Structure 1
Amino acid sequence: MKQHHDIIGLSLVLGTIAMVGSHASAAELKARTAVLVHGAFADGSSWHKVIPHLEKAGLKVIAVQNPLDSLKSDVAATSRAIRNAEGPVVLVGHSWAGVVITEAGHDEKVKSLVYVAAYAPDKGESAQSVASKYPALEGRQTFVKDADGYLRISDEGIRKYFAPDLPPDEQAVVAATQGPFHVSTVTTPVSRAAWREKPTFMVVATKDAIIPPQLERDQAEAAKATTVEVPSSHVAMLSHPKEVAELILKAAE
């Protein structure tokens, strides 16, 4: 039976998690490995600010490199990482990877899920069907599709919508390291929803211009997730890595 968690306020969460961050040790963590799954328009390096916090607390870390060409391929890459990880595992997904961990999170080695400014579709839903219930955000107009159906975000879109709270040099890195994302991925539904079965934690990015913050809040309520809100753009793991890491550590307990 999936454990249920109340959605709690930011101040309470941060106060509680601060204690976790200062006192957690490898001996206190039930999970042994954090498997971090990047979203669209990214690669595994998008977790580089979070990884040191997790390793310092005693977690091993695997950052998945998703092909981003289909849900099936991304789930396969994530499932392979889970198989190769020392369990128990806390499985973490940003953005599009929320769809991936919703499907891949059924592995019995996975004991908890963390969604970071991410989609969390229910059984039979896709990223597109979830997003269609909310007003389209202006940032999506900066997506550019090539002749093969792969999407990228324009440099202006990175600066103005995707990562506006990062300094210019970091925005340039985000733009340069984009993983081309095939348009067909967003219409593929998940067959099961792991968040209905396992303890779930969610980071809501209140200044997200890619996924509506209200969508993120509504998903958290549906999942009865332990939730923290951060005043972040879509790339919360880059602009607020400490808060993201602390929630992952809480999930690892």
Structure 2
Amino acid sequence: MLPRTLLAGLSTACLSLIAGISTATAQDLEARSVVLVHGAFADGSAWNQVTPLLEEAGLNVIAAQIPLNSLEADVAVTERAIDRLEGPVVLVGHSWGGMVITEAGARDDVHSLVYVAAFAPDEGQSLGTYTADFPHADGLDFLEKDAAGYYRLSHEGVAKHFAFDLPTEQIDLIAASQGPINSEALGTPVTTAAWKEKPSFAVVTTQDRMTLTDIQRAQVGKLNAVAVEVDTSHVPMLTYPQVVADMIIEAAR
């Protein structure tokens, strides 16, 4: 097993080598399955490039389609996905999905947690209270709230802050297919912090304008997480899918 500070700052070339090692030793995986949890302003298709890499490594995968109506509803959908799979299960959360796996990950059949540009709060913390002590994320200036109280990210926000290093065609698709999140969900605290009991891993994005890099780096020490930093925007599963897959495979080991 690589040391817990192992991957921080490694080059893409080194990570490619790690990818080969992970695939070659797939028979050594302790976890059998993976549940991928998308964040706000996204949907399950955010994992389309990561999923086949995990399946090639011998893992069963479900990309949960969470409704973003409430934290409780998102956790319930995630738990139903866990129930469908052979355990042990690795839970992976992107952005808001980190809130979800922090709550859902306390189950006995959850093997480990992977935070991908994601939030990892403590018990009693909502997203709002958790981020209150950090600087303002520029991408939040582009939120649009509808009459029902749901936030969407404007096309400009997606292009300039959420996924600025993707091709225009992908940016357009993300903006059109994004899942709006209920504003009330942002004030709901988690009741458990599964990372206190489960091995944790993190993909930290160094150009993130949604989940600030400072937040992600602060979490690595708190979680005692194996971590890798990638020089990219808020969507590393689309810009660096192999790096994200490698980290999930490492978590499954």
Structure 1 alignment gaps of length 5 or more: none
Match of residue 20 from structure 1: 21
Q: Which amino acid aligns with 1:130?
A: Y
Letter in 2 for 1:50: V
Contact 2:207–2:231 (CA under 8 A) maintained in structure 1: yes
Correspondences of 1:8-87 after superposition (within 5 Å): 8=6, 9-11=8-10, 14=15, 17-25=18-26, 27-87=27-87
Q: Deviations over 1:91-150 (max 9, x none)?
A: 100000100000000111101000000000011111111111111022110010001100
1:91 correspondence with 2:87: no
CA distances 1:164-209 after superposition (whole Å, capped 9, x unpaired):
0100001111111111111111111111100010000001000001
Give the root-mean-square deviation of aligned CA atoms: 1.4
In the alignment, the residues of structure 1 paired with residue 81 and residue 126 of structure 2 have an alpha-carbon distance, to the nearest angstrom, of 23
Q: Structure 1's 16 and 7: CA in aligned 2 closer, same or farther, altered over 3 A?
A: farther
Q: Distance in 1 between matches of 2:127 and 2:4?
A: 25
Instruction: Give SS of 1:119's match.
Output: coil
Distance 2:194 2:182 in 1: 24
Q: Which amino acid aligns with 1:230?
A: V
Deviation at 1:15, TM superposition (A): 6.8
Between the aligned partners of 2:79 and 2:139, the Cα distance in structure 1 is 31
Separation in 2, partners of 1:247, 1:24: 14
CA-to-partner distance for each residue in 1:4-62, whole Å, 9 max, x for gaps? Answer: x633332287377334334132x221111110001001111110010011011111100
Letter in 2 for 1:154: S
Q: Is 1:198 the counterpart of 2:198 in the alignment?
A: yes
Question: Which residue number corresponds to residue 167 of structure 2?
Answer: 167
Indicate whether 1:123 and 2:123 are aligned.
yes
Write the mapping of 1:79-158 to structure 2, written as runs, cut at 5 A. 79-158=79-158
Q: Secondary structure in 1 aligned to 2:28?
A: coil
- The one-letter code matched in structure 2 to 1:115 is Y
- Matched ranges for 1:216-227 at <5 A: 216-227=216-227
Q: Kindly indicate whether residue 224 of structure 2 is the aligned counterpart of residue 207 of structure 1.
A: no
Measure, in 1, the Cα distance between the counterparts of 2:170 and 2:16: 29
The one-letter code sitting in structure 2 at the alignment partner of 1:197 is E
Q: 1:160, 1:104 → 2: CA distance?
A: 32
**Structure 1 pair 32–22 and aligned structure 2 pair: CA distance change class (3 A):** closer
Residues 20 and 246, structure 1, Cα contact 8 Å, conserved in 2: no
**Is the partner of 2:111 in helix, strand or coil?**
strand
Q: Which runs of 5+ in 2 are unaligned?
A: none
Contact 1:93–1:100 (CA<8 Å) still a contact in 2? yes
- Inter-partner Cα distance in structure 2 for 1:85 and 1:70: 24
Question: Residues 57 and 155 (structure 1 numbering): CA distance in 2 closer, same or farther, change over 3 Å?
Answer: same
